[in-house]
Amino acid sequence: MADRMSTPELSVIIPTLSKSDDIPVTNALDEQTFSDYEVLLQRENNASKARNTGIRKANSEKLVFLDDDSIPHPNYLERASALLDKYPAVGGHIQHPQNSPLAEVGYDFPEAEGPMKEWIGCNMAVRREVFEKVGGFDERFVHGHEETELAHRVREHYDIYYAPDLVVTHSLAGTIREYLEKRYRYGKLDPLLWDALGISNFGRVMWALSPLELGNNSFQGTAIQVTAWIVHRIGLVSSLLLSQENTPSANIPDFE
């Protein structure tokens, strides 16, 4: 890790609720091939706010975002630094742990390196100039959809580059139950995301009715995906039934 008296090449920002610094991601960072970095553990009950606080505190122009249970591969930081020399915004590849109950449910990534539409908050690398241009994470999104909303604003000015060799190991959730609870929560947040992205009523209907793309999963993986798709829609319907007329205004900090 970089000397605190020097300016590090990378600032690694990690939202967490853990009171301990001894967590999976920090243990993995100790094994990196790259040492010129600082770690900012931000303890907030709001992932967007935690990341924004980390951006303010960071001493580097190159910012890396990981979750507290992300396991970056040994050359991760070395690769992130090199990528940020070329691209202002980068999303990496995520793989499940082999023993994960969700190993049969794949993440959705492009087939090859190049521009990507969305990224995932447990594996992002961004130059500070991007946040100075578009603002930070919208703090209305406490945990869920925050990186999707940010990607929408970023892509108005920059390409987001998908790097398949920037790899972390990270499970969608610890258990199938936790995964379904997450999908329900995301469904409840969909209307807020639609408002943030300016999606028309027709677009909202088309999204809600969009068919499930199953891919080439096993029977177990397919069963989990189908159940998650249904649970997500239940969350969406419950949000629409209980929706308030006044949507909270965007809460995006300015980093200019």
Kindly list the domain boundaries of the chain, sorted by start residue. Answer: 10-169, 176-241
pLDDT at 216: 52
Confidence of residue 172 (pLDDT cuts 50, 70, 90): confident
pLDDT at 33: 94
pLDDT at 213 over 70: no
Q: Which of 50-59, 112-121, 206-215 has the highest mean pLDDT?
A: 50-59
pTM greater than 0.85 (yes/no):
yes
- Domain 10-169 sits in CATH at 3.90.550.10
pLDDT at 15: 95
pLDDT at 55 over 80: yes
Instruction: Find tokens 């087939």 and name the residue.
Output: 111
**71: alpha, beta or left? (left if phi > 0; alpha if psi -120 to 50):** beta
In the chain the first and final C-alpha atoms are separated, in Å, by: 28
In Å, how far are 99, 114, 160, 204, 206 from 165, measured between CA atoms? 22, 12, 15, 34, 34
